C-alpha cells in the first residue's frame, strides 16, 4: 500500500494581502517556486533555504512555469504581461502582447517556445530565445484558463476554457486540430460545464480534464472518447480552478495516481486504472481551497489560497 506522507510545510499561511495561486516543483526536483504577489519565492527542498526574486510586474502573478533546464521561471501576471526570469541572472524578457490578464503559461519540452493563455480568449506562442511573439491563436469565446503541452511532443497544445470547450491545436501552424466538448447543449441547462484545468499524460496520449463541477475525466483525445471519470463529491458549481496532477511513482508496475485538490482544502487521490479512491488528505489546508498541486518523482507539493504550501512524499507503507 502506498500513500502520501506529509514531509514538511514550506510556507505557512499568512492572512494574505495577495492570494497565492501557483506552486511548482522544478523539473530537476531540487526547488519549489511559487508566486508571492509580484515576486517569486524559491525554496530549496534539500537545504531548506529560501530565496526571493523580485520581478517588475505591476500586478500579482497568477501562474508560473519552470523552464525544462530548471534555470528560468516564467510568470503570468494580471498586468497583461509575462516575465521570464533567470534564477541567477535576473530578468531576461518581458513578453507583451496579451490584452487581458494572463492566466497560464507553459514551456515546451525543448524550452525554446513558451505558450500562454489569457482572459482575452487567445493563446500566444513566444520564442524564448529572442523574446518575440511567434503566433496568436484565437481559440475560444470565454477566458482561456489552462493550457498544457505533452512532455515529449511539442507539436500539439491543449487548452481548456470557461466556455466549456477543450481544444487541441497544432503549435507549428496554429490550426485547431480537435474539439472534445460542446459549448452549447440543447438538451439540458447544465450540459456545458466550464473547464478549469487540462493536463496531458506522460506519454501524451491521454488528456486529464477537470471542470468546475468537480468531475475529472481522462479523455483519449485521438478517438474523442472519455476513458475514465472521477467524481470528487463536491458541489456542482465551484468558484476556483483547484489544482490537479498525475503522480508517476518510481515503481513502473504501479499505475499512475490522479491527485486533485478541492475547494474545502482536501486532497483526493485516485488510482487511474481502477478509479478507487486511494487516499483523502484532510489534515492540512483547512478550509482554504487548494489552488495548485505539482508532482515530480514521488514528491507532491500543494498550495492553498491562503498561502500555505506543503510538501508530501509518496511512500510504500508496507
The bridge status of strand 166-170 relative to strand 156-161 is antiparallel
Task: Report the residue from 39, 142, 170, 213 that binds other proteins according to the rule CB under 8 A.
Answer: 170
Beta bridge partners of 292: 303
Count the site residues for other proteins by CB under 8 A.
Answer: 73
Q: Which three cell numbers stand for residue 292?
A: 495548485
In 3-state terms, what secondary structure has residue 259?
strand
Q: Binding of other proteins at residue 42 (CB under 8 A)?
A: yes
CB 273 to other proteins: min, Å? 7
Percent helix, percent strand, percent coil in the chain, to nearest 5 = 0, 50, 50
Judged by CB, which is closer to other proteins: 99, or 141? 141
Among positions 80-109, residues that touch other proteins (CB under 8 A) are 86-90, 92-93, 108-109
CB 232 to other proteins: min, Å? 16
Among positions 295-314, residues that touch other proteins (CB under 8 A) are none
Q: Binding of other proteins at residue 271 (CB under 8 A)?
A: no
CB 289 to other proteins: min, Å? 27
Q: Which sign, positive or negative, has the C-alpha torsion 296, 161, 112, 171?
A: positive
CB 67 within 8 A of CB 73: yes
CA distance 61 to 89: 20
CA distance 4 to 36: 26
The bridge status of strand 277-281 relative to strand 290-296 is unpaired
Task: Report the residue from 27, 101, 150, 261 that binds other proteins according to the rule CB under 8 A.
Answer: 150
Q: Which three cell numbers stand for residue 198?
A: 487540462
Among positions 226-265, residues that touch other proteins (CB under 8 A) are 226-229, 246, 248, 252, 255-256
Stretch that binds other proteins, among 190-198, 203-211, 295-303, 306-314 (CB under 8 A): 203-211
CB 198 within 8 A of CB 209: yes
Judged by CB, which is closer to other proteins: 179, or 282? 179
Stretch that binds other proteins, among 5-13, 70-78, 116-124, 237-245 (CB under 8 A): 70-78
Q: Binding of other proteins at residue 134 (CB under 8 A)?
A: yes
Q: Binding of other proteins at residue 175 (CB under 8 A)?
A: yes
Amino acid at each position: 500500500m502506498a500513500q502520501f506522507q506529509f514531509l514538511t510545510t514550506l510556507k505557512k499561511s499568512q492572512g494574505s494581502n495577495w492570494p497565492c495561486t501557483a506552486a511548482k516543483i522544478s523539473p530537476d526536483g531540487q526547488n519549489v517556486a511559487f508566486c508571492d504577489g509580484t515576486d517569486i519565492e524559491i525554496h530549496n527542498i534539500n537545504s531548506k533555504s529560501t530565496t526571493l526574486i523580485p520581478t517588475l510586474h505591476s500586478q500579482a502573478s497568477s501562474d508560473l512555469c519552470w523552464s525544462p533546464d530548471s534555470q528560468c521561471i516564467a510568470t503570468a501576471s494580471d498586468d497583461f504581461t509575462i516575465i521570464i526570469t533567470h534564477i541567477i541572472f535576473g530578468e531576461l524578457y518581458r513578453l507583451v502582447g496579451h490584452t487581458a490578464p494572463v492566466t497560464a503559461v507553459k514551456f515546451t519540452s525543448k524550452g525554446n517556445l513558451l505558450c500562454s493563455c489569457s482572459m482575452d480568449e487567445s493563446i500566444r506562442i513566444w520564442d524564448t530565445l529572442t523574446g518575440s511573439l511567434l503566433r496568436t491563436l484565437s481559440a475560444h469565446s470565454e477566458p482561456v484558463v489552462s493550457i498544457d503541452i505533452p512532455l515529449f511532443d511539442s507539436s500539439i497544445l491543449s487548452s481548456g476554457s470557461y466556455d466549456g470547450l477543450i481544444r487541441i491545436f497544432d503549435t507549428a501552424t496554429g490550426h485547431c486540430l480537435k474539439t472534445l466538448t460542446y459549448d452549447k447543449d440543447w438538451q439540458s441547462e447544465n450540459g456545458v460545464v466550464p473547464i478549469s484545468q487540462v493536463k496531458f499524460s506522460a506519454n501524451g496520449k491521454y488528456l486529464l480534464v477537470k471542470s468546475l463541477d468537480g468531475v475529472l475525466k481522462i479523455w483519449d483525445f485521438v478517438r474523442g472518447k472519455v476513458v475514465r471519470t472521477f467524481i470528487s463529491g463536491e458541489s456542482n458549481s465551484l468558484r476556483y480552478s483547484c489544482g490537479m496532477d498525475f503522480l508517476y511513482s518510481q515503481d513502473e508496475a504501479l499505475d499512475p495516481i490522479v491527485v486533485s485538490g478541492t475547494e474545502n482544502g482536501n486532497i483526493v487521490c485516485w488510482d487511474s486504472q481502477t478509479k478507487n479512491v486511494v487516499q483523502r488528505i484532510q489534515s492540512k489546508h483547512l478550509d482554504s481551497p487548494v489552488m495548485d498541486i505539482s508532482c515530480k518523482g514521488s514528491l507532491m507539493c500543494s498550495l492553498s489560497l491562503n498561502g500555505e504550501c506543503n510538501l508530501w512524499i509518496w511512500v510504500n507503507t508496507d
